[in-house]
Amino acid sequence: LGIEWHPDRDEFCCALRLDHTPVFTKRGLLSLVARIFDPLGFFGPSIFLAKSIMQRTWCSGLTWDAPLPDDIHADWAAFVADLASLLNIRIPRYVNAQHGSRCLLLGFCDASQRGYAAVAYVRILDAPTNSCIFLLGSKTKLAPVKTLTVPRLELNAAVLLARWLGRLRHILAPQLNIIDTHAWSDSTVVLSWLTVPHDSFKTYVSNRIHQIHNILPDCKWHHIESVNNPADCASRGVMPSELVHFSLYWHGPPVIYTDTSSWEPCSPPKNICELPEARPTICTARADGVLVEWFASFSSFDRLIRVTARVLRFISRFRVLRKRASYLFPRDRLSESDVDCVPNLPAYLSKSELDCATRIIILESQHVHFAGLRRELSCTARVSSKSLSKLSPFIDDNAVIRVGGRLKHSNLAYECKHPILLAKQSHLAKLIGERWHRLTCHSGPRVMAALILRQYWIVSIKSVLHKILSRCTVCVRLNAKPVQPFMADLPASRVQQCRPFARVGIDFAGPLQMRELGLRKSRTIKIYISVFVCFSVKAVHLEVVSDLSTNAFLAAFDRFVARRGLPTDVYTDCGTNFIGANKQLHALVNSAEGQVAIANARTACEWHFNPPSAPHFGGLWE
């Protein structure tokens, strides 16, 4: 398949038959290119030249059998005339290495406007210097029709080389001891990209850099001049006669024969922002003028108060130590014995400490949300906000803003008459609402509001409590409404206009006990009620029935017809009395007298039975 092996000299050569006369059309061009089968890519530079000519025919929009333009015809004729030179190329099959020999895997990549290519070599470290480099093959690809920048093409060449080296390493690993992998490129931009984290660049470049690092994480990249790059000819294409004597391609550049310590790795760039395709980094500074309560990270009111009380206790004790140190030891530091002189406070927090912590938290919340109101109350008695002026706010002796009101002479506690004012967006109001919600065992908003208003006046407390209830997982789970099924449309008999009792549903109710009146020895009789429900206006007609027999129902139906008229449609279940009545009515209709009555009548009655064991079909009258 495209490659022949000569056992006598242990060499590969090109197996190509040129006995056919070339056809200078797109079809003939493709036929000849497809006949050159080169799986290892030994003849890649020349085949790439043929592929580039084929791409020109596609871009020109030629049909399959149309003659080639003059420029393409001349290039293709020169290539076909020189194609026989590929038969003179001999590639040694044997790699001068034993099983498990130490070796280096080397690769080169390059790109041009026509396409990009990758060439791979292996260096046997245990072999002599003059016979230690062997060509493993090459890979070439045409550049896409959509124009790409040269750095992107060079990056695609690096990706192609990484895939090619990764596949070769997987194939050669069982036979050779590959101790290291090296790659060269003549693009300083690509080498700089590979030394920087991939997320610093745009998506196109970032994805390919990430792919290279995943395939060859331990590969060392180096820079090489274009004149010494063996992949340069594969990325531009060369004539077959030139490829035969292209020593740089077959044997590699001189640098790979030198000591590996002289191969300098590429260094990262000094400034990433100067590289092309760099992702712009935007730093914005925003000054937030909105004050935030320092305790906004607390999720429990009780824990907030206790932590604040502990901090206040520490501050007060530290002040005592500092005062004593300045009085007794003005120049010396405090020792452990001096600290022990300070009396220890009890482990638990006293009520006065908790009240002091609560007052400080309230003052902080009011300072954040009612700073303007405090300033107005301190300077003048007039409040500019209409919603707050209705509350008659004032500042008490502890600098806390409270609500006024008309309960000054009542016997209620001072906190009930003048509750503390809190804003609805305050985090403290939220913590207080959640605390009372837990204490009242997840009660509703009315109970919570009544208890909270004894001490705190939260502006728009209903919205605050409703927000707390909507975020409470326990309340949401307990108050969840079941999903209502999608109801089907009502049947036509229920929604079409007709006279009352033209369409009726019939069923029996009972049994009931009826007692005879006016007799000395009255007896109790069991009766039933026949229920006639109108489909149009939902009116109900009741008839007393002595039993559940067919004759009793027919008598009740006769009385109903005499009072309401003959219905056009009757709907019942599959009761035996209804089925028997239907049979008798059909027999009456089929008789001679019934035929005369039907001929004289303007309407006829049609009986409808529900499906057996389906009482929900008669939901209207059941």
Q: Tens of pLDDT along 2-46?
A: 678 888 888 888 877 777 777 888 888 888 888 888 888 888 899
Mean pLDDT throughout 90-104? Answer: 82
pLDDT at 328 exceeding the cut of 60: no
- Mean pLDDT, rounded, for 555-559: 84
pLDDT band, residue 121 (cuts 50/70/90): very high
Which residues does residue 354 pair with via DSSP β-bridges, in sequence order? none
Q: What is the mean pLDDT of residues 455-467?
A: 90
Is pLDDT above 80 for 586? no
Residue pair 62/56 in contact by the 8 Å Cβ criterion: no
Cβ atoms within 10 Å of 4's Cβ, excluding its own: 12
532 compared with 583, residue with greater pLDDT: 532
- The CATH class for the domain spanning 495-617 reads alpha beta
Residue 62: per-residue pLDDT: 85
| Average pLDDT over every residue of 60-83 | 88
Rounded CA-CA distance 295/292 in Å is 9
Reported confidence tier of residue 332, pLDDT bands at 50, 70, 90: very low
With a cut of 70, say whether residue 195 has pLDDT above it: yes
- Both tokens of residue 496? 């079409």
- In this predicted model, which residue has the larger pLDDT, 223 or 200? 223
| CATH code of domain 96-274 | 3.30.420.10
What is the CATH class of 357-478?
mainly alpha
Q: How far apart are the first and last CA of the chain?
A: 86
- The pair of three-digit structure tokens given for residue 22, joined into one six-digit string: 């070339």
- 208-222, 408-422, 508-522, 581-595: least confident range: 581-595
Measured CA to CA in angstroms, residue 208 lies from 160, 167, 196, 197, 277 at distances of 10, 17, 13, 12, 12
Q: What is the average pLDDT value for the chain, to the nearest integer? A: 83
Distance CA 270, CA 278 (A): 14
From residue 431, give the alpha-carbon distance in Å to each of 360, 422, 458: 15, 12, 12
Question: How many residues are given for the chain?
Answer: 622
Q: Is the pLDDT of residue 335 over 60?
A: no
Average pLDDT over residues 364-383: 85
Instruction: State residue 156's pLDDT score.
Output: 92
User: Per residue in 419-441, is it b (16+ CB within 10 Å) or e — as a string?
Assistant: bbbbbeebbbbbbbbbbbbeeee
Residue (of 263, 96, 104, 100) closest to 169 by Cα position: 104
**C-alpha dist (Å) from residue 352 to 259, 346, 356, 466, 537:** 82, 13, 6, 33, 73
Domain ranges of the chain: 3-90, 96-274, 357-478, 495-617
The model's pLDDT over 503-530, given as tens digits with 9 standing for 90+, comes to 888 888 878 888 777 767 777 888 888 8
Query: b/e per residue, 162-199, with b = 16+ CB within 10 A?
Result: bbbbbebbeebeeebebeebbbbbbbebbbbbbeeebe
How does pLDDT run across 260-314, given as a tens digit for each residue?
888 887 776 656 667 777 777 666 666 555 567 788 888 889 999 999 999 998 8
* pLDDT surpassing 50 at residue 154: yes
pLDDT at 603 over 70: no
Output the pLDDT for position 484.
Answer: 82
252: left (phi over 0), alpha (psi -120 to 50) or beta: left
**Residue 85 near residue 240 (C-beta atoms within 8 A):** yes
Tokens of 73: 């015809």
Q: What is the pLDDT at residue 276?
A: 78
**pLDDT the model gives residue 331:** 45
Identical fold for domains 96-274 and 495-617, yes or no, is yes
Which pTM was predicted? Answer: 0.48
Phi, psi of 441 (to 5 degrees): 60, 50
Q: Which two tokens stand for residue 93?
A: 């099959």
Q: Mapping DSSP to helix (H, G, I), strand (E, B) and coil, where does residue 16 land?
A: coil
Q: Where does the pLDDT of residue 181 fall: very low under 50, low under 70, confident under 90, or very high at 90 and above?
A: very high
Q: Nearest CA to 204 among 251, 272, 262, 154?
A: 154
**Do the Cβ atoms of 313 and 345 come closer than 8 Å?**
yes
Give 547's pLDDT tier (boundaries 50, 70, 90).
confident
